[in-house]
Every structure is written in C-alpha cells, then in structure tokens.
Structure 1
Amino acid sequence: MKNSKRFLAMMTAGFLAITPMAATGLTAFADYTITVDNATAGYSYAAYQIFSGDLDGDVLSNIGWATGVNGSGLIAALQADTLLGSEFTSVSTPAAVAAKLVELNANTEKLVQFAKIAKNYVNSTASGTQNTQTGSTYPITVTNPGYYLIEETSVPTGATVSRYMLEVVKSTTVTPKRPSPTINKTITGGADSGKANNVSIGDAVTYNITSAVPDMTGYDKYFFVINDDMAAGLTFNNDVAITIGSTTLTSSQFEVQTDSTETDGHTFQIVFNDFYNTWKTHSGDTISVTYTATLNEDADRTTAGNLNTATLTYSNNPNVTSTGTNEPTPPGGETPGDPVGTTPASQTKTYTANIKLTKKDGSGNVLTGAKFRLSGGSENVVLVNGKAYQLDNTNGTYYKLKNGTFTTTEPSGDTSAYDATDKKYKIVENVSSSKTYSNICMDAYVQSDGTLEFGGLGAGTYTLSEIVTPGGYNSIPDMTIVINGTGNTFASPNWSATKDGTSVTMTDTATVAFDVINNAGSTLPTTGGIGTKLFYIIGGLLVAGSVVLLVTKKRMKTNED
C-alpha cells in the first residue's frame, strides 16, 4: 500500500509534468470530469481507463487493471517491444507496471511508446467521450477515478493530432500538445519582407524556404515534403540546396521530384529521405532551402504578378505505428492510411513591366513606318508586341516586316515590305537561366495601329531611339525612360516611371504608356521663281517679234524688185 501511494504521488507530481499536456487538480465529486482545454472547434475526445484504484486526495491506492483491460496482453506487448522490452522484463502486475512508469517519468519517448501500446489493450468502449465544446473546452465525464488515456478521436481536416495524454483522474484539466511544423517562403533581396520583387524576363529569382525540424516524439517515421507551385511565367531551375542546422545535405538525403506523375499536381516536390531516423534528435534546428526560377516568356506582365506558392506536407499523427525505416514515396503515393497534414501556403510574387508607345503626327493621327530600338536597363529577353525574337540566320524561319509584324513567307519579287531580306529570326521559347540569349531583337516597327510594346522589363533606365522615321516627317531625339519598382508588396506592385524626367502614369497593366509625336517636314517657298518665268516669256516674245520683222522686210524688198 505504501509503495502504491508513493507511485501515484510521484506520478501526479512528476510524470504528468513531462507528458504532452498540463494538469490542474479540481475538487473531487461522485463523477469525475476530464476537461480538455482546446479553444478550436471540430475535435472529438475519448477517455480509456488503464488502472483502477481508490482515490484519496491526490493519491491513488489499491491499483488494479481497469474493467476490460487485457493486462496480460499489455504486459506481453511491453516486454516484446524493442524500445520498452528491457524495462518491463520482470513485471507481472498492474502495480509493477505503474512502478516502472514512475522510473521512466523523465523519458518522454518511452512514456509515449507505452501509451501507444496500451491503447491496443484497453477496453474498446471508452469510459467517456466528448465531441461538443463548452466554451473553449471539451469536458469528458467518467464515473471512476484511476489512470486514464485520453485520445483525440477526430480532428479538423489536416490538423495535427495530439499524442495520447496520460492522466491520474480525479477531476482535472488537460491541454493537448500538437507541435506542427511551419514554413515561410521569401525572395532573397525582395521587398515587403521578401514577399515581392521585380525582374526582367530572363532574370533568375532566388527563393528561400525556412522551417524547423519538428518534435517527432511518438513517431517511428515522418513525412517531410515541400510542395512548390509556380506560375506559368516561372521556370524552375532545379538547383535546390538545403541545410539543416550547420549541416549541408547531400543529394542522397533528399530528392527533387519534377515528373508530373510523381508530384501530386505540384510543379515540383522536395522529399526528405529517412527524415525521422536522420533528424529526430535535432528538434528545433533550422531548415533552410534555396533554389531559383527564371521569369520566362509566359510571364504575367500585369499588376497581378507571377505567384509562387510553397506548402509543407508532414506526418500529423504520432499515435499511428508505421513500418519500415524510410519514408515512402511523397504524398499522393503514400502508403494508404499514412496520416499527413499540410501547412498553410506561404507565397511570393514577382512583377515585370512594359513600355508601350503610340506613334502620332502633330494632329493626333496614327503614323506607321517608324522603327524604334530599346537599349539599356536590365532587359534580357524583351517581348516585342507579345513575343520575343532572336536573330538566327541558321535556324530562324521568320522575317521582320515594316508593318511591325513578322512573317514566315520568304521574300521574293517585290520585297519593299520587308525590313531586311537577309536576316532571319526565331521565336524565343522556354526561357531559363541555363540558356544564353544573344542577338535578341531589340528593334521593331510600330504596328498598323501605330503602337509598339516592349514587354518583360524590370526596374531600370532605358533609352528608346527612333532609327527609322516615317517619310516626310522630322526625326526625334532619343528618349530616356526610367522605371522604378521600389516598395512592391505581395498585394500589389509599386511601379512609377518618368520619360525624359517627366512623370508618366503607369496603367493597370504595369505599362509605361505614352505618345511619340512626329511633326511633318515643311515645303519651303522658292523666291524668284516668277521673275524667271517672265524673263523667258518676254524673251520668247522678242525672238518671235524679230522673226516676224525679218520675214516682213524680206517680202517688202522682193515686192520692190
């Protein structure tokens, strides 16, 4: 009796302090209430009695197996367990099991393993259940004092399940502990706490994901899979680097899945191999993942931006016994029944801008036939009226026309519509940082509506030059356009722009839009033209008069003869 009292006193004071909950004794009465402190709706709980006994204050005496407990089966399972077998070799009674638990009160891992095994040998009918909140708690009523296992029997979709809670029951309050990993994605060097940036098409964006090694107590394997979803305007460069704490992971410690048949609908997944066995003793260590993506020709060039989303899929039920020492294929191909949860999304945005000019005459009429060149800034692969063209006389199939378009029709006969007959271009596709982009077409004619757009530009200073002026119009000087992108946020970009030092309002499509005016040349008067004509007329008359006079004189002389 003395040993039993000593066991329960120690269990109340010591064991409960290290299991994943907090306990507060309340006044005892005929029925006992286990109050689960949880302010979140959508949970259900059940309490299963392991030990019975007599309650006197904080002490439980006359310890025995609770009704329905398979005591001999529980002891046999404890003795056969790899982790606990040596601890329970000589026990044969419930009091001896209880005494051994006191010895293990500082070993959370072993106590959690005891609970996982005990759950399989208690009465399958719970002593009390609760699935309805009262305020911010879930009260479970039981009729007998004793030692109970409290289980979260259901949780909201994707939520982490608390480890089994072990409690000496008089009326008491327990708080579930369900440590869940988190994830945060940022852009290196980005604004808005790394949540937004701006670049040109062809630029690489560097991403960083941070998390921490979770508390894996109670698990025997653990999923840890990063899911990444990139907008169509971003191309993953498959250059993942990972550190955990001060350790740089080798390629054998993780796998990057890019095949659509393996990624569960994501752009790619990063699967950590044998995560549990490798990192279970590193709880709290920082996980840092870096990789890049290139803004490509399909980039969203409006204020909506190019979204990148990361989530983390992780094991979320420590009470499930798994087999094997390595994690199986990532979620979507996991072993049936493997419970996993997913973190809330962590997102970033990358913006890019455009320059659009409209060619007009001094009266506001649209002009065609003008050709412009864009230079400077941070351009790599500039879209001309929505596409990027690269000079390639070997593989190119397109010819540039003076109406601002490109054609695959080879020049023959009248070639006046062609910018050049000896230059061929190809459309730039699948932009990535692994490719080199030279001879990108940075000059083009305005279209039939007088417009010309250069797209996919990051912040920078650009020079726009008119290199072909419409016939009959005066050429114009070069224009300097400055695009500023400081202060971008995830919610929206913060573009501003100037043209030759004067502010230009950017449109909702992230476009610097302005008119370029060409004035017609003048037909100058030719002074003295009238006098020359009169001279020739008078001269002609004088000559004619002289001829008439000469002929008349000859006739008169003839008549006299």
Structure 2
Amino acid sequence: MRMRKLFAGLAAAATMLGGLALGVSTANADDTLAVTADELGQTQSIVLQGDAAQLKDHTFKAVLLGAYDGGEWTDASKETLASVSVRTETNVLAKVENALKTIEGVKDADDKFISPDIIEGEGTDAVTISGTAYNDYKASVYKDNPVAFIARYFLGYEATDSGNTDNRDTTSSLKSEHYAGLLRDLVEVLGDGDDTVGSVFEGVADATTEYAERGKATVTISGLTPGIYIIMDSSTGDVIEPSQDEPSKYTASIHMLVGTKLAGKDLEHQELGAVAVKNELIEVNKEILKAKGEYNEEPVNESDQNVGDVIDYKLSTKVPNTTGYETKCGTVDAEAECDGTNYLSYVLTLNDTLSKGLTLNDKVTDTDQSHTGIVVRVAKTDDPDPSDDDDWLTLAEDTDYLITISDVADTTGDYVGGTLLRVDLSKWINNTIVGKEKGNAYIGKEIRVDYSATLNSDAVIGVEGNPNKVDLTYSNKPDGDSTGTIPGPEPEVFTFDFGFQKVAASDNSNLSGAKFSIKALDGKYAGKYLTKNDKGEWVPTPATDSKAEGETPYEFSEIADSDGRFYFSGLAAGQYEVEETTAPTGYLQSVKPKTVVTITWTGQNTKPEPDGAYTVAFSKDGTWDLITPYLSGDSLSTDIVEGNTADRPLVNIKNAKNLTELPLTGGAGIALFVVVGLLLTGAAVMVYAKMRGTMKALRV
C-alpha cells in the first residue's frame, strides 16, 4: 500500500486552540528544500506565556504525542517552513485512540458527521461511520496515525494547498466560547489519568523572566524532541498568596496542545513553540454596602456604627470556567442532576465568618423556615443593575445551593464566639455549568450573596474593631479532586466610647449619684435623645402621650461605677450633647454642666488595613468652667490610637456645693455677677418696699 504522510504546520498561537496547521506535500516537491536529518535532530523549546501571577510557582510538564519526521522549507533561505510531517509516538498511540472514542465525531457545515466519501483514501466505502471521532479516524488514511488525524481533521485546519494559507481553525471553539470545543474535550481526556506515558519534560515558572510588558512572565521547557506535545500543569493550583487589596488566585492550568519549532524556525504564516497558559483566575470579594441606614456611594471595607445598627454585606465571586472537570453527579454519563450529596466534580463554597460582635440576620422573621435573610443571585449581564431583577437569576436554597450556619471553632484570635456561614454553590455549578461550558452565558458572570448583620452588645469597643472575613473554597485541578482556599477581604466595623469622672469642684474628690442624658446631634438619630434597649442597643427614647420619639431625655446613672466614672460606649463617630440632669446629693441643682462630645474617626480610609484610631473632644461648659482635663497636662481633646477609652476617663466634670466654689472669671464670672446682681437688686427692692411701708405708717 502506498505510504502517506501528514505534513502539518504546527501553530502554538496565544490560545490553546491555535495549535496546528496542516499541509499535504505535493508530488513534485523540490528535494533540495527538504528538512535534513541534522535539522530534525536539533532539540527545541516551548515557551509558556502569561501574567506573572498566573505562572508563579507553577510546574509544567510536556509529554510528546507525535514527533516530526520530516519537513519542507519555503525556499532556499530556510527562514520559514512550508510544512512538517508528524508520526504518533508508539507509547501513546493507544491513549490517543481511546481518547478519540470518547469524543464526538467531526461535523461538517450541515452538522453531519464526516462520511467515507469525503475522507481521502481507498477502501473506505465499506466502513460504517458512527458519531465518534474514533470511527472517523479508522475510516481515514491516518488510521494508524491518530495524532495526524487530530491535526488534519479534528482541529479543522484545511490543507495549505487547498488555499487556506492563513491556517484558520474552522471548527474548534474560540476563547470567547471558553475553550469548550471538541479539541478542548480531547486534550482533557488525553491528559487524564496516569497512563499518559511518553517523553516527559518539566519546567518551573520563573516570574522574574518578563516579556513584552511589566508583569508578564514566561516558562521555557527546553531540550525537547521536535514535535507535538500536550502541556500539563502539575502544580496544585493553590499557590498564590493574595494581598488584601488583590484577593485572587489562579487554578492549575487546563491542558494545552502545542507544536515546537523545527530547527528553530516557524511556519511561513504562524509562530510555533509558544502558548498562552490557560488557568482560571479565582476571585472573592466582600464589601459593606449599607451602614447607618444609608447605602454607601461606593462599597467600603470599613464602617463605624452604633451598637444596634444593621450593616448590609455583599459577598461576590465569578462563575468559573469548569472546562476539564468531569461531571460526577449521578451516573457516569452525567445525565442525572446533582442531588446535594454527590457533586464532587466542581466545588465552589463561600465561607463567611462573623466575629462575636456581629449577629447574622439569616431570617427576615423568626418564624421563617428557610434562610430568607440571605439572597443568592447570578448576574445575567456583564454590568448588572443591583436593583433590576431582570439583570439577575435568583437561586433557590436547597435546589441550587446549601446553607449551613455554625459556631466558630476557634479558641483564640478575633473570631472566638463568632458565627460561620457557608454558602455551598457546588450544586448549581455542577447542574448548570460543568459539561455545558460551550456558549454558556453565565461563565464569568458575578455570583452575589447579600445578607445583613447587627452590631451587638458583645462588640469590641475602640481601635481593634469587629472583623468579618470571607474565603472561597474551589476546585483547583481539572484532573483531580483537590481544592484550594483563597482568602478575601476582611471588612471591619468600629464603634467608640468616651468616659469622664465626676468630681467635687472644691477638692477634685470623686462623686457618685449624678445622672446624665445624651442626645445625638448628627447621624441617623440626629436631634434625638438616646437610651439603650434590653439588648444593650442604642435607640431613641420612646414616645410618650405628649412627646415624640427621642424628645424625652433619659437619665443615665447605671453606666457609672461607684466612684462616679461614666462610660458611654458603643457609639458611632459624630457629635453628642451630654448634659447633667441630676447633680449629686448636696450639690447645686441649679448649676449642672453640659458639654458637646465630638468623636472623630481618624483611622478611616487608612491603608492597607482598616484602622480604628479616633479622637474624643469635649467642649467647655457654656456657662461654668466645670469641665477640665482628667490628667494634668492633658487637653479636652484626646487621641485614641490603641486599646479603648475605657482604660481611663478623659475629663473631670465638676459639681459645686455653693456659689463660692464656682469660678469668678470669664463667662462664668459674669454669670455669677449677674446672679449676685439680681440678688442684690431683689434685696434692694425688698428694702425699698419695706421702707415705703414704714414711712406710710408713720404719716398715718
């Protein structure tokens, strides 16, 4: 039988599918242009390209599937190749043939499988063609050379002598279709398992080797026999430690098919020996959307709150490209839907951890049977409007995802006593994405989880804050069951306090028995007097028959200790009017101090992490100079940069037993002068009236 060779132009374009271009040698080829044995014997390299983060610490191996055994130069200059021929390696022939048995046959423009009458060769009329690539292969002239068949027909490249000089791939899927064409399926089957035996070469990524532009890198696998290789990422995929500002990781790459150069040269119309790495960028994010009753103009990762305030959170990630992952739900042919217990193919779980000071609001009402306070949606567009239901697919609990809520197991650290929320999206991913990647509109779209939490009475007061973290568990290796976990941002909620000491004006001795009210001058409760409910949360004072909510002062005495130290804790930044409503027994009830306390969050917007530093400033009493620094040398303004204000009071607030203990200078002195003057005037009036009455009596 006449021997036939496949002459292939191999392209390793920047996409995995730009793999091969084929040409059939002509009978009148110029022998002087044939590639020599010495040229065939020169070892070659394959260069993997990508972002530095894609390649850092990843290890790749190249397995030879078919070696070049001939070729032809374009002209005598030997600058480019017109064609090369390839033969399948004996030790992988069975593997490649078995892979073809699992793949759909090649179809023409009318969506029909290739039939014997359009396959070259003799004696194919009697072959019955079924819907598999293997049957097409056995009916072709390449029946003993499966790698040649893949190049010639499976990749869809037309012969160069048929006019397709730009080597266009006419049937396999493009990057925009998520690599999910026939070639993609074939390469994943070829790389699956341990029976891919061949000449194995390895290369470890060096992110310091940059190309084209900053942040890019290459991996070079050298010493290769010229030919066609399958490139596999043998790393776990869980190798990038992201910073909080850039929470992202790359999975292990899906397998790639690429041909080397021959004698260091490319085909006339295509570069050889280079391929772009195909690993998936995994991202997870967490933001505070709404705080103090208002939506933020932009999502933030820090907020200041009153104890009792509700904070709206958003978790997000992207629908992954699951190409290369087998569906394992139900039967081998993956027809059965995932039932919630058997969906090991692709794992995607959001793990959200709330510290003890945050109460998860997982239900809208206490009687709800499901977790109605947690809403899970998938975007239908690249730029969805959060408020437009038409832009989102709302998933159903149990049907599409599973929720578990448990106590944090940590015994040390910031999350002791906290709550762990898991949102397992694997069910929806495996039913909707795995095995259905080609043309799938959801791949790359946002997955969004919304819920709220209440800052409770266990909140950490002061600089340290109340953190809330998220991480994402995901499948990270296409041909295995391994998973990775990527940490996301850790937003923090801060709440503040201030304290003061009651003292006697005469000698600064501690006083007890005073009562104070507090009114918010700005923020969500602006203009309202505040009190605490039975949960320890700040709320406006209740309405009465004659006054509206927040109009009646509440007299605080229970927040003071036996030495007269008052602490108002769990407050957001802002201004508060603090007024003494009852003086200690034995002290002037007509002279009670009042001050405006300003809490300024100075650590806001501090990078790289949230910072709870703040300043507390007391105004002077408007009438009496009864507010002084707690420590000698201090001022009425104090910066809090570590710990919290409960370490000590910040100012003394004084009470006087009589007028002589009050200051006699400044505004207070004038006030005292006015009081004394009024008393003297009153006395004079009384004396004058008395005298007039006496003289009138004498005249009678």
Task: Provide TM-score, normalisation by structure 2.
Answer: 0.57
Please, which runs of 5 or more residues in structure 1 have no aligned partner? 321-337, 381-387, 392-427, 525-561
- The 8 Å contact of residues 16 and 258 in structure 2, kept in 1 or not, is answered as no
Please say if 1:243 is aligned against 2:377: yes
Q: 1:65 to 1:183 in 2, by over 3 A?
A: same
Give the whole-Å Cα distance in 2 for the aligned partners of 1:261 and 1:504: 39
Q: Is the 8 A contact 1:495 1:510 kept in 2?
A: no
1:340 offset after TM fit, Å?
A: 1.6
Residue type matched to 2:596 in 1? T
Kept in 2: contact 1:204–1:294 (CA 8 A):
yes
* Aligned match of 1:182: 283
Deviations 1:278-306 (A, max 9, x none): 24411222222211111111111111211
Counterpart-to-counterpart distance in 1, 2:16 and 2:257: 7
Q: Does 1:359 align with 2:502?
A: yes
Secondary structure in structure 1 of the residue aligned to 2:464: coil
Instruction: Give the counterpart of 1:76 among 86, 98, 119.
Output: 98
Q: CA deviation at 1:59?
A: 6.0
Match of 2:456 in 1: 296
Cα contact 2:40–2:70 (8 A) shared by 1: no
Q: Matched residues in 2 for 1:237 and 1:199: separation? A: 16
Aligned partners of 1:55 and 1:61 also within 8 Å: yes
Amino acid across the alignment from 2:232 = E
SS at 1:184 equivalent: strand
Q: How many residues align?
A: 451
Q: What does residue range 384-403 of structure 1 map to in structure 2 within 5 Å?
A: none
Give yes or no for the alignment of 1:32 onto 2:20: no
Residue 268 of structure 1, aligned match among 415, 418, 421: 421
Other-structure match for 1:399 = none
Pairing 1:504–2:637 present: yes
Matches within 5 A, 1:263-342: 267-272=420-425, 273-279=427-433, 280=437, 281=440, 282-320=442-480, 338-342=481-485
The answer to whether the Cα contact below 8 Å between 2:100 and 2:186 also exists between their aligned partners in 1 is yes
**Pairwise CA distance, 1:191:** 8.6
1:234 aligns to 2:358 (yes or no) = yes
| Shift in Å, 1:61 | 4.3
CA contact (8 A) 1:390 1:441 kept: no
Kept after mapping to 1: 8 A contact 2:377/2:394: yes
Distance 1:121 1:233 in 2: 50
1:106 aligns with 2:173: yes
Q: State yes or no: 1:225 paired with 2:361.
A: no
**Partners of 1:143 and 1:310 in 2: how far apart?**
44
Within a 5 Å distance, the mapping from 1:140-219 to structure 2 comes to 140-155=221-236, 157-158=238-239, 159-170=250-261, 172-188=273-289, 189=295, 194-219=300-325
**Would you say the 8 A contact 2:500–2:653 is kept in 1?**
yes
CA contact (8 A) 1:60 1:146 kept: no
Give, in whole Å, the separation in 2 of the partners of 1:432 and 1:315.
44
- Render the CA deviation track for 1:84-133: whole Å, top value 9, x for unaligned: 96343321222333323222433632222211222358652543223474
| Larger RCO, structures 1/2 (Cα 8 Å, 6+ apart) | 1
Alignment of 1:456-471 (within 5 A): 456-471=570-585
After TM superposition, the score normalised by the length of structure 1 is: 0.70
Q: What CA distance in whole angstroms lies between the structure 1 residues aligned with 2:90 and 2:19?
A: 26
Q: Name the residue aligned to 1:46.
A: 61
User: How many Å separate the matches in 1 of 2:105 and 2:377?
Assistant: 30
User: Given residue 195 of structure 1, which amino acid in structure 2 is its aligned partner?
Assistant: N
> What is the SS of the residue equivalent to 2:150?
helix
Q: Look up the SS of the partner of 2:431 in the other structure.
A: helix
Number of the residue aligned with 1:4 = 6
1:213 is displaced (CA, Å) by: 1.8
Which whole-Å deviations, capped at 9, do the CAs of 1:193-226 have from their partners, x for residues lacking one? 5111111111111111233222222223422211
Offset at residue 343 of structure 1 (A): 2.4
- Conserved in 2, the CA contact under 8 Å of 1:74 and 1:121? no
**Farther off after superposition, 443-452 or 123-132:** 123-132
Moved over 6 A (4+): 20-23, 377-380, 438-442
- Alignment RMSD (CA, Å): 3.9
Q: Quick one: percent identity of the two aligned structures?
A: 23
Bigger-Rg structure (1/2):
1
Segments of structure 2 that go 5 or more residues without pairing to the other structure are 21-38, 74-80, 107-130, 157-170, 210-217, 240-249, 265-272, 290-294, 327-344, 363-372, 380-391, 411-417, 526-530, 543-548, 622-635, 662-700
Report the residue type matching 2:424 in the other structure: V
Shift of 1:484: 4.3
Tell me by how many angstroms 1:51 deviates.
1.8
Cα displacement (A) at 1:146? 1.5
Q: State the 1:498 CA deviation.
A: 4.5
